[in-house]
Amino acid sequence: MHTTKQLFDLSGRTALITGGSRGLGLQMAEALGEQGAKLVISSRKQNELDEAVAHLEKMGIDVVAMASDLGKETAIKPFAEAAIKHLGHVDILINNAGATWGSPAEDHPLEAWDKVMNLNVRSIFLLSQAIGKHSMIPRQYGRIVNIASIAGLAGNGANMQTLAYNTSKAAVINFTRTLAGEWGRYGITVNAIAPGFFPSKMSRGLLETMGEDAIKRAPLRRLGDDEDLKGAVILFSSTAGKHITGQTLAVDGGVSSVLI
C-alpha cells in the first residue's frame, strides 16, 4: 500500500518531454523533475534548450537536452534511440511539441497544413511507436501523455481560423483513446491533457486578437499560468494514475464546460 506522497513520487523514473524548452513543455519538465524524474527534453532550437537546461539544473533536476526537428520523419528514430540510450529506458513520454497556423480555410496553404499535421499528429504516432516498441512494451510499463487542446474538443468561430490545428488536436484525442485500448495489456497508460488559453509564444497572436475575451470566456475568469498543468501531468505520469487511461482532461478554467 502506497502513501499519498508515494503515489505521486517519480524518484527513479525517466521522462522524455518533446517541446520541453519553453512554455507548457518547460512547465511540465519542472513538475516531473521536481517529483524526482530524470529528464530528456527536446526542441528544434539549441539555444532555447541550453537556457531550459540551465534553469532546470538550478532547481536540482537531472536533465539532458537533445535538439531535434520532430516534424521530419527521418529525425524521429535516431532521436528515440538516443533518448533510450541516455536514460536506459523511457518510463514517461510527454508528446508536447506542436505547431499552429492561422489562415482562412479557403486559403489555407497545403504546406502549412502538412507542417501542422506532421508535427502535431504524425510525430506523436512515430515517437510513441518507437518508444513503446523499444522501451515500454518490453518492460511492460509506460506512461504516455499527449498534449491536445480544447481546440480539439469543438470548432471555432470565424475569428480564430485555425482549421489545421483544431483538426490535428482532435486527432490527438482519438489517437489517445485508441492507443490506450491497444496498449493497456502491456501496462501502458495513454492519456491526454487539453489546455485552454495559456500565455505562450505559440498562442501570443491569438491572445492579442482575442484580448480580454479570452478571460471572459472562462468561468474562472483567468488564463492558465505557469503552474496549472503540473498537477495533471504528475497524475497521469505517476502511480496515482495507474487506473486511468484513454482519457482527456481539459485544463482550461472551465471554458470547454460552457457554451458562450
Q: What are phi and psi of 166, to 5 degrees?
A: -60, -45
In the chain, the N- to C-terminal Cα span, in Å, equals 45
Rg value, the chain, Cα: 18
* Residue 71 burial by Cβ neighbours in a 10 Å radius (0-12, 13-18, 19+): buried
Single-letter residue type at 68? S
Let me know: does 173 contact 120? Beta carbons within 8 Å: no
Let me know: does 237 contact 15? Beta carbons within 8 Å: yes
Active site residues per annotation: 165
